[in-house]
């Protein structure tokens, strides 16, 4: 049977899509090749969020074409995912040796199309059509592949985004928001737990908008905890958004230990979600809240729908509801029109919030997005300079926060051997920090306590012996 190698660029959603395609192909009798050179089929699952990600995948494909022509004529080469969706046929026009271009609503057709290409019944396939109900087709998992994936799994709960931030290409690559049903998602989670999974990350481009179009918010009696003076607890019932209803339902699954989600929008952190962090013990104290900018003027130009003050308010409420919660963010520097003063607002907000980590992106103009046409595009040199300044600040704060763990005891879920050093095992704290320790196979999949002895770059080093005597 043919073998396939899939290389993934971009976000966790892309990782999940690749896993589902791999699982689908394995179920159809394909094997997973150990390298590109050894594979009958090579697929690049692509990202379009920034130009750099697109360039990387296109350069990779050029190399693959060169190698295939030299060493492996007949090798099937394909693009999947976001760039496939946004560029379509153009990718084959540029590189005529590419055989397959498969969009974000068509992952479930991969096996069928590859069979046709391998059999020679079709020469080229481009399928980037929209397909109703495709959001429910990413459900196969490959738990027997790497040891790590069997402990922790991603579950796709919705696709697409209607927010239309002016910088963002995602509405064009992933389409309109479509959500799976709660029973369908819960059935998938239950099946994963029955197969040994202990941690589930619920995934979507804007998970906090889950089910908004299909499910009403429901009321629930008095919230049991205090969220502070301006929170909703003065009213007798709290409205639970469909996303929080989903969290509640997934939380009931016996044997599941930890729940995470990504990626949310700040506007989704209503009191119901903040209260869920305090109420649901399995919901890990880790929140990614994409800030993008600390300047209200820029936030408005970005069409983000919140202000600096609103953002700070969310962080404050979360920390009150769940002390010690890990807070991470995404920030764009050099958005069109961003002045030094705007940028300094971002620096000051980063200082104020003290993020546990922040992913910083230099603004990259994307085709057919409003921001690409805005006046006052910021020169690359300034974007680079701001990137560096913000990165220094964020790293300094993050390092201090990591150091604060030294001497503390934390609970980790052990994922498996470390990639770099097989004698070391790797796990994650509930607030999503990576911990390395001297472990063995028997630790795999265990929830255990370790004492943090020292820190490395975005890593904690733990000792289980001290606390598990
Ligand atoms: N340029 C730079 N960064 C971007 N992101 C999204 N679009 C762009 C763009 N055009 C960043 C945002 C988002 C993260 C996934 O990627 O910060 O949260």
Structure tokens, 334: 């050099």
The pLDDT of residue 423: 84
Q: Quote the ligand 1 centre to 333 CA distance (angstroms).
A: 10
pLDDT at residue 389 greater than cutoff 60: yes
| CB distance 363 to ligand 1 below 6 Å | yes
State which of 47, 50, 362, 386 you would mutate to test the pocket of ligand 1, scoring each by most atoms of that ligand within 8 A of its C-beta. 50
Closest CA relative to residue 256, chosen from 186, 201, 203, 197: 197
Residues with Cβ < 8 Å from 130, sequence gap 6 or more?
105, 175
Closest CA relative to residue 174, chosen from 218, 216, 224, 138: 138
DSSP 28-59: TT-EE-SSSTT-SEEEEEE--SSHHHHHHHHH
pLDDT (tens digit per residue) in 20-74: 999 999 999 999 999 999 999 999 999 999 999 999 999 999 999 999 999 999 9
As a whole number of angstroms, the distance between CA 290 and CA 194 comes to 33
Q: Quote the ligand 1 centre to 221 CA distance (angstroms).
A: 39
Phi, psi of 406 (to 5 degrees): -60, 130
The pLDDT of residue 227: 64
Ordered strands of the 199-203 beta sheet = 152-156, 199-203, 258-262
Percentage of the chain modeled with pLDDT above 70: 94
Q: Quote the ligand 1 centre to 168 CA distance (angstroms).
A: 6
The pLDDT of residue 148: 47
Compute the average pLDDT of residues 221-249.
Answer: 74
Return the residue whose CA atom lies nearest to atom 13 of ligand 1. 330
Residue 98 near residue 125, CB atoms below 8 Å: no
pLDDT (tens digit per residue) in 318-363: 999 999 999 999 999 999 999 999 999 999 999 999 999 999 999 9
Phi, psi of 240 (to 5 degrees): -100, 120
Residue 356 near residue 401, CB atoms below 8 Å: yes
Structure tokens, 453: 């002895």
State which of 9, 49, 263 you would mutate to test the pocket of ligand 1, scoring each by most atoms of that ligand within 8 A of its C-beta. 49
Split at pLDDT 50, 70, 90, the class of 467 is low
């Amino acid at each position: 049977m043919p073998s396939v190698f899939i290389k993934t660029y971009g976000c966790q959603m892309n990782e999940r899509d690749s896993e589902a395609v791999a699982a689908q192909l394995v179920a159809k009798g394909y094997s997973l090749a150990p390298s590109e050179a050894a594979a009958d089929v090579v697929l690049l699952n692509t990202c379009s969020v920034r130009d750099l990600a697109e360039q990387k995948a296109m350069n990779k494909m050029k190399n693959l074409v060169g190698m295939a022509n030299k060493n492996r004529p007949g090798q099937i080469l394909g693009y999947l995912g976001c760039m496939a969706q946004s560029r379509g046929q153009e990718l084959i026009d540029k590189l005529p040796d590419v055989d397959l271009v498969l969009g974000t609503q068509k992952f479930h057709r991969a096996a069928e199309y590859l069979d046709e290409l391998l059999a020679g019944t079709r020469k080229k396939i481009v399928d980037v059509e929209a397909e109703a109900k495709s959001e429910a087709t990413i459900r196969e998992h490959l738990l027997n592949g790497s040891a790590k994936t069997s402990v922790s799994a991603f579950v796709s709960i919705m696709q697409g985004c209607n927010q239309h931030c002016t910088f963002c290409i995602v509405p064009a690559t992933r389409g309109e928001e479509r959500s799976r049903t709660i029973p369908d998602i819960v059935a998938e989670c239950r099946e994963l737990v029955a197969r040994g999974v202990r941690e589930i990350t619920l995934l979507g481009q804007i998970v906090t908008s889950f089910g908004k179009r299909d499910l009403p918010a429901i009321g629930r009696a008095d919230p049991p905890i205090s969220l502070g003076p301006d929170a909703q607890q003065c009213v007798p019932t709290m409205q639970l958004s469909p996303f929080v209803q989903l969290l509640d339902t997934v939380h009931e699954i016996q044997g599941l230990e930890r729940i995470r989600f990504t990626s949310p929008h700040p506007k989704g952190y209503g009191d119901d979600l903040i209260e869920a962090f305090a109420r649901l013990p399995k919901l890990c104290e880790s929140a990614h809240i994409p800030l993008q900018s600390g300047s209200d003027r820029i936030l408005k130009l970005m069409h983000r729908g919140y202000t600096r003050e609103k953002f700070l308010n969310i962080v404050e409420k979360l920390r009150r509801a769940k002390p010690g919660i890990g807070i991470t963010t995404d920030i764009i520097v050099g958005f069109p029109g961003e002045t030094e003063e705007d940028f300094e607002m971002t620096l000051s907000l980063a200082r104020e919030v003290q993020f546990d980590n922040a992913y910083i992106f230099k603004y990259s103009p994307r085709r057919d997005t409003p921001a690409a046409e805005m006046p006052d595009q910021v020169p690359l040199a300034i974007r680079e300079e701001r990137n560096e300044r913000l990165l220094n600040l964020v790293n300094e704060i993050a390092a201090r926060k990591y150091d604060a763990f030294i001497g503390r005891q934390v609970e980790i879920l052990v994922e498996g051997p470390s990639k770099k050093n097989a004698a070391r095992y790797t796990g994650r704290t509930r607030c999503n920090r990576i911990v390395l320790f001297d472990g063995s196979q028997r630790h795999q999949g265990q929830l255990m306590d370790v004492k943090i002895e020292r820190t490395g770059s975005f890593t904690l080093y733990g000792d289980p012996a001290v606390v598990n005597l």
